[in-house]
Every structure is written in structure tokens, then in C-alpha cells.
């Protein structure tokens, strides 16, 4: 596995190449490479591809955020001549001095898939959406509406141009969009006191007070992101559509939730074939302000980093039956905490009726359960508590075959790979310091 070594605070760490299957574009390989800003540098690279008979189907560029004198290039190319491509990548790295990252290719046996090490690296895949964005399927309610399609492109452009560290651009929503939001907001809010979990109902009034949650107003992602950071360190990032499971879960490892800004079509305010801002803000956001749920969500993300594809599928299924469609116990009753339930007027009532099958959350079984994306779920899984769900997830994560463990460092906003004695010593020192604070605090409250 190709890797590059970097230095930070005097310590050496490795960044591995990103090698991932592309489920949406068969036979297409994507690369990101950076070049020094010199006359003819890009032409030399493109000539190399041409000489080897490899066709480029897409190319875009941007100034490098890491090195001011470099540009980064994203390209799609046909994957017919893989042996020649291997030679080109080696040539780019050794002869031209380019930094190359593969963004889609079938993995070699025993290769650990690339994963982001720093929060800035989420920029690399945030625009690699699988569906929707500015393009709509023929059965989408807004497919034949040119005004809606143009509006979706505006939202997609915001997401495509966003980079980590920037404030999330504010959107002036139309009266029609606010009317759609108001319909959904009013109907769902009437159910929350009796159907939503305690954590959701505890946070929702705070969102109304501090983030502009109202029937006549669609809140801004920037305001909500700042609120979440003050509660649990979670933040929002605009996205144009659906990401792959691997990419989406990787964001959670950094306590970053990729959120849409567009809203469903006005013709069907109680239906959407895709996540929209009603789903994100009414379903997901309240729970991300709860410390226990935020940690559970992050641990799903951490478990996904470097995991094989079959475990990514299992973790995505766990996410589906918990974060999206989970139920939890509150005393002798069941309540909803999954965002897919909390943002669906119909399914929020259905899930607590006597119609679906209710099962205890056992991740070994939950992770392989098939599910439906177009109808109400026939099966829901019940967590005893978020604490119990976290413990089960930690045990499940231990079964993932990867040659290291990971932890998130909130001070540097980096993923630390625990695969050597020095890393383990640093972790032990950190834990020892925290235990010292705990012991000191316990003595003072006796």
C-alpha cells in the first residue's frame, strides 16, 4: 500500500492512499493530485495519460488549502487499462513530485481503505454524492418543475463550493419553501410530546429559543451548527445529496454531520424520497445536542474508519436501525429517537402502534437485517438506553478486522491511529491526566 509520511509536532504519521469502490460509476476511477503552480505542469501530466491511452472524462481544479504554491486537481478517468494507470501514478509521485490520492478503485487484498485523518480532509469526498443533488430521478415530485430544479442547483452549488472552516452560507428561503416547512413543522410538533424520546423533547425548546425553529421560519445551518458545537462539539456541513456509507460515516467520526439545505417539493409536503432540511433539522439535529447520543453517533463513525466493505455495510445497517429508525425504552413505554421516524408524521405514529414487529437491539443480528427504503419499516429495534447502545457498539466494533484502533483528538481535530507503543503511551498519559482530575474532584465533593 502506497503511503506518504508527514511530520506534525515532531512526530511521524502515515497517510494511506484512498482506495474505494465506486458503486455509482462502473469502470470509472477518480484521482486527486496536487502540483506546484508552474507553467506546463498540468500539460505534462495530461500528456502522460494520453501517451498511455487513458481517457479523462472529467477534470476540475482548486487552489491547495495545504500549500499556497500548489493546485489540487480532481479527475475522473476510464479504468480500462489499470496496469498502465499504476505506472502513471508511480510516475506522478516519483518523477513529477505530485501528491496522488485514489478516490475509487477496487481494493487489493488486505489493503486498508483510506480514511480521513484530519477534519479538513472531509473536503476530499464531500462532493462525491451518489444521487440527487441538482439531478432528480424521473419519479421525484419535482422532476417536471423547472423552477424547483433550478432551485436545487442553487443549493447544490453552495455545497460544492463549501470548504471546512468557512461559515455555512445563509439561504433566503422562498415563501413557498417556508410554507412547506411550516406544514411539516406543525404536524410533527403536535406528535413530539407523546411519541418522541425525552432527549428530543428536552432539546427542541432550546432550538426554538436559540436557533429560530418556528413554523414560519426555516432555520439556518450556520446557527444550528454553532449551537451544536456549544452543546456536544457536533457541527453541520452542507452537502448536495447522498454520500456513500463509508464517506458519510467517516464524517461522524469527526462529529460532523453532512446536512442538506434544500426542502422537499411543495406538491407533497408530507413526502420526500430523499433526506431534506425537514429530515435533518427536525429529525437529526435535536439528538446531536445530547452528549450521550452524540458519542454513540461518533463511535459508529470511528468504527467505520479503515473497515472492510462488508463491515461498512453492517455499520450502515446499524445506523439505519438506530440513528434513523431507532426506538428506545422510557419506563414501561417505547419512544422514537430515530431521525427517519421523528421527521415522518405517518411513520412516527405507525412505529408505536401494534402493527410493526419490535425486537431488542442485538447488533450481531441487527447489522445483517434487510430493510426497506420506500415503505414503513416492518421491524424496529429497541435500545434499553443510549448508554447500553454505546456499550453494544463498542463490543461490535472489536470484531472489525483492522490492524489498529483509532481515537479522535478533539484538540487537533485529527484521528489518531493507535498502532505503536508511542501512540499508546500518549493515550495512557492523557487518560492518567483525566483520572487525576477526576480523583481531585471526588475528594472535593466528599
Read off the pLDDT of residues 286-310 as tens digits, 9 standing for 90 and up. Answer: 999 999 999 999 999 999 999 998 9
Res. 11 pLDDT band, cuts 50 70 90: very low
Give the pairing type, strands 357-360 and 379-383.
Answer: parallel
Query: Which residue in 279, 297, 299, 344 is the catalytic one?
Result: 279
Number of Cβ atoms within 10 Å of the Cβ of 411: 6
Res. 214 pLDDT band, cuts 50 70 90: very high
**How many angstroms separate the CA atoms of 400 and 439, rounded?**
34
More confident of the two residues 47 and 176 = 176
Predicted confidence (pLDDT) per residue in 372-415, tens digit: 888 899 999 999 988 889 899 989 988 888 888 899 999 999 99
58 is catalytic: no
Residue 2's pLDDT is 31
Residue 4's pLDDT is 33
**How many angstroms separate the CA atoms of 431 and 149, rounded?**
52
Query: Which residue in 324, 344, 347, 405 is the catalytic one?
Result: 324
Under 8 Å CB-to-CB from 177, ≥6 apart: which residues? 218, 263, 266
**How many angstroms separate the CA atoms of 399 and 62, rounded?**
40
Query: Which residue in 195, 200, 265, 284 is the catalytic one?
Result: 284
How much is the pTM?
0.75
Percent of the chain with pLDDT over 90: 53
Residue 89's pLDDT is 76
Residue 426's pLDDT is 85
φ, ψ for residue 350, nearest 5 deg: -65, -40
**How many angstroms separate the CA atoms of 337 and 8, rounded?**
40
279 is catalytic: yes
Query: Which residue in 104, 343, 344, 405 is the catalytic one?
Result: 343
φ, ψ for residue 128, nearest 5 deg: -90, 65
Cβ contact 283:343 at 8 Å? yes
Predicted confidence (pLDDT) per residue in 320-361, tens digit: 999 999 999 999 999 999 999 999 999 999 999 999 999 999
Cβ contact 136:145 at 8 Å? no
Residue 121's pLDDT is 93
SS (H, E, C) the chain: CCEEEEEECCEEEEEECCCCCCCCCCCEEEEEEEEECCCCHHHHHHHHHHHCCCCEEEEEEEECCCCCCEEEEEEEEECCCHHHHHHHHHHHHHHHCCEEEECCCCCCCCCCCCCCCEHHHHHHCCCCCCECCCCCCCCCCCCCCHHHHHHHHHHHHHHHHCCCCCCCCCCCCCHHHHHHHHHHHHHHHHHHHHHECHHHHHHHHHHHHHCCCECCECCCHHHHHHHHHHHCCCEEEECCCECCHHHHHHHHHCCEEEECCCCCCCCCCCCCCCCCHHHHHHHHHHHHCCHHHHHHHHHHHHHHCCCCHHHHHHHHHHHHHHHHCCEEEECCEEEECCHHHHCCHHHHHHCCCCCCEEEECCHHHHCCCCCCCCCCCCEEEEECCHHHHHHHHHHHHCCCCCCCEEEEECCCCEEEEECCHHHHHHHHHHHHHHHHHHHHHHHHCC
Give the pairing type, strands 405-409 and 333-336.
Answer: unpaired
Number of Cβ atoms within 10 Å of the Cβ of 249: 24
For residue 51, is it left (φ>0), alpha (ψ between -120 and 50) or beta? alpha
367 is catalytic: no
Res. 20 pLDDT band, cuts 50 70 90: very low
Copy the grid coordinates of residue 363.
447488533
Res. 65 pLDDT band, cuts 50 70 90: low
Residue 278's pLDDT is 96
Res. 66 pLDDT band, cuts 50 70 90: low
50 is catalytic: no
Q: Does the pLDDT value for residue 435 go beyond 50?
A: yes
Amino acid at each position: 500500500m502506497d503511503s506518504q509520511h508527514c511530520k506534525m509536532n515532531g512526530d511521524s504519521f502515515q497517510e494511506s492512499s484512498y482506495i474505494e469502490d465506486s458503486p455509482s460509476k462502473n469502470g470509472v476511477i477518480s484521482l486527486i493530485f496536487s502540483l506546484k503552480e508552474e507553467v506546463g505542469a498540468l500539460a505534462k501530466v495530461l500528456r502522460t495519460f494520453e501517451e498511455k491511452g487513458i481517457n479523462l472524462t472529467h477534470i476540475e481544479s482548486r487552489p491547495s488549502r495545504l500549500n499556497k504554491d500548489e493546485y489540487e486537481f480532481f479527475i475522473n478517468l476510464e479504468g480500462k487499462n489499470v496496469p498502465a494507470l499504476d505506472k502513471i501514478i508511480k510516475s506522478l509521485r516519483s518523477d513529477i513530485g505530485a501528491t496522488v490520492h485514489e478516490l475509487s478503485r477496487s481494493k487489493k487484498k488486505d489493503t486498508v481503505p483510506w480514511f480521513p485523518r484530519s477534519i479538513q480532509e472531509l473536503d476530499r469526498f464531500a462532493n462525491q454524492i451518489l444521487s440527487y443533488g441538482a439531478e432528480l430521478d424521473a419519479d421525484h415530485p419535482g422532476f417536471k418543475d423547472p423552477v424547483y430544479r433550478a432551485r436545487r442547483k442553487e443549493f447544490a452549488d453552495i455545497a460544492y463550493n463549501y470548504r471546512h472552516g468557512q461559515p455555512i452560507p445563509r439561504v433566503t428561503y422562498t415563501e413557498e419553501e417556508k410554507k412547506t416547512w411550516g406544514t411539516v413543522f406543525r404536524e410533527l410538533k403536535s406528535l413530539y410530546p407523546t411519541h418522541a424520546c425525552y432527549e428530543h423533547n428536552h432539546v427542541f425548546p432550546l432550538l426554538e429559543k436559540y436557533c429560530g425553529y418556528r413554523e414560519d421560519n426555516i432555520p439556518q445551518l450556520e446557527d444550528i451548527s454553532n449551537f451544536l458545537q456549544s452543546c456536544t462539539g457536533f457541527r453541520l456541513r452542507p452537502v448536495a445529496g447522498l454520500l456513500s456509507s463509508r464517506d458519510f460515516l467517516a464524517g461522524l467520526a469527526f462529529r460532523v454531520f453532512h446536512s442538506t439545505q434544500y426542502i422537499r417539493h411543495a406538491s407533497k409536503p408530507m413526502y420526500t424520497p430523499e433526506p431534506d432540511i425537514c429530515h435533518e433539522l427536525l429529525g437529526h439535529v435535536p439528538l446531536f445536542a445530547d452528549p450521550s447520543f452524540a458519542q454513540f453517533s461518533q463511535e459508529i463513525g470511528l468504527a467505520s474508519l479503515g473497515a472492510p466493505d462488508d463491515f461498512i455495510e453492517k455499520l450502515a445497517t446499524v445506523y439505519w436501525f438506530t440513528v434513523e429508525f431507532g426506538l428506545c425504552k422510557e419506563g414501561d413505554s417505547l419512544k422514537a429517537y430515530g431521525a427517519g421516524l421523528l421527521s415522518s408524521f405517518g411513520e412516527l405514529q405507525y412505529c408505536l402502534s401494534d402493527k410493526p414487529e419490535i425486537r431488542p437491539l442485538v447488533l450481531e443480528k441487527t447489522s445483517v437485517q434487510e430493510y426497506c427504503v420506500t415503505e414503513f419499516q416492518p421491524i424496529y429495534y429497541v435500545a434499553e438506553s443510549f448508554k447500553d447502545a454505546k456499550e453494544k457498539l463498542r463490543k461490535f466494533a472489536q470484531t472489525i478486522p483492522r490492524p489498529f484502533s483509532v481515537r479522535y483528538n478533539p484538540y487537533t481535530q485529527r484521528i489518531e491511529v493507535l498502532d505503536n507503543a508511542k501512540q499508546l503511551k500518549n493515550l495512557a498519559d492523557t487518560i492518567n491526566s483525566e483520572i487525576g482530575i477526576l480523583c481531585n474532584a471526588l475528594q472535593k465533593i466528599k
